[in-house]
Structure 1
């Protein structure tokens, strides 16, 4: 029940939900020909544009440091999911470009996640599920706003 006696807190619940969804997603992806991808690879794969994406954009969109994006990109290059190519708009920059293997993985991941959502919509009913997602999005926006405000107010170290 937790120390407070109120049951699991919001962090515990959202963490448990995320891990349970990831477990199903990556188990399914492994069965569908992608046994080498893991949740950490989603930092890059989930945000890739078909024509390529700069690491700085992936970092901003995923909320991860550019160094982490670089390390994950290195892994995905070795696994055959992405390549690095010059950015035609700025020859000094590189684009991280998905391969056909990555495009297949992303399509299968999106289909799996849609199936998971459909299952919960069926279990809860469309109205309850929509209300749940709306509420979760509101909570997420409030938390992000707090984080941004607090981060901006901290003195530089």
Structure 2
């Protein structure tokens, strides 16, 4: 039987990177006491802002359906990471705001991700890593806007 070696395509590489980053991030968050979070919660947490953000904006930024974001917000609210507050600009709308626990998780995630990036920058060299990130971001934006 002849085995053909397939080249790894962009989607596979992007998925492998995502799963590896999520595995390390959520593993370390768990060690810090945020063990009730799962990678799916990243659709909200990655785009949350200290002053809050509307669910429709979270959906737009994450590329997820509003219903998916609503489910994640419900879960995160139940876990004590976010709360819904009236939007001062439009009282009919709600802002999704981090609670004290949510702010602590966001700070911890920022530290973990910064350490990951620092590790890769040291390994590749800062210039090469900066070029990689710029090229990767360009590819992501081009793919989203196709």
Task: Tell me how far 1:20 sits from its aligned partner.
Answer: 0.5
Name the structure 2 match of 1:100: 100
Name the structure 1 match of 2:7: 7
Q: TM-score, normalised by structure 1?
A: 0.86
List 4+ stretches of structure 1 deviating above 4 A: none
Mapped partners of 1:92, 1:124: distance in 2: 49
Task: Tell me how far 1:5 sits from its aligned partner.
Answer: 3.8
Mapped partners of 2:67, 2:80: distance in 1: 20
Name the structure 1 match of 2:78: 78
> Where in structure 2 are the equivalents of 1:1-157 lying within 5 Å?
5-146=5-146
Q: TM-score, normalised by structure 2?
A: 0.92
Task: Tell me how far 1:145 sits from its aligned partner.
Answer: 2.1
Count of aligned positions: 144
Deviations 1:114-157 (A, max 9, x none): 100100111111122112112212211221221xxxxxxxxxxx
Q: SS in structure 1 opposite 2:52?
A: coil
Mapped partners of 2:87, 2:136: distance in 1: 37
Mapped partners of 2:41, 2:72: distance in 1: 6
Task: Tell me how far 1:86 sits from its aligned partner.
Answer: 1.6
Mapped partners of 1:6, 1:132: distance in 2: 23
Task: Tell me how far 1:88 sits from its aligned partner.
Answer: 2.1
Of 86-95 and 63-72, more deviation after overlay is shown by: 86-95
Name the structure 2 match of 1:154: none
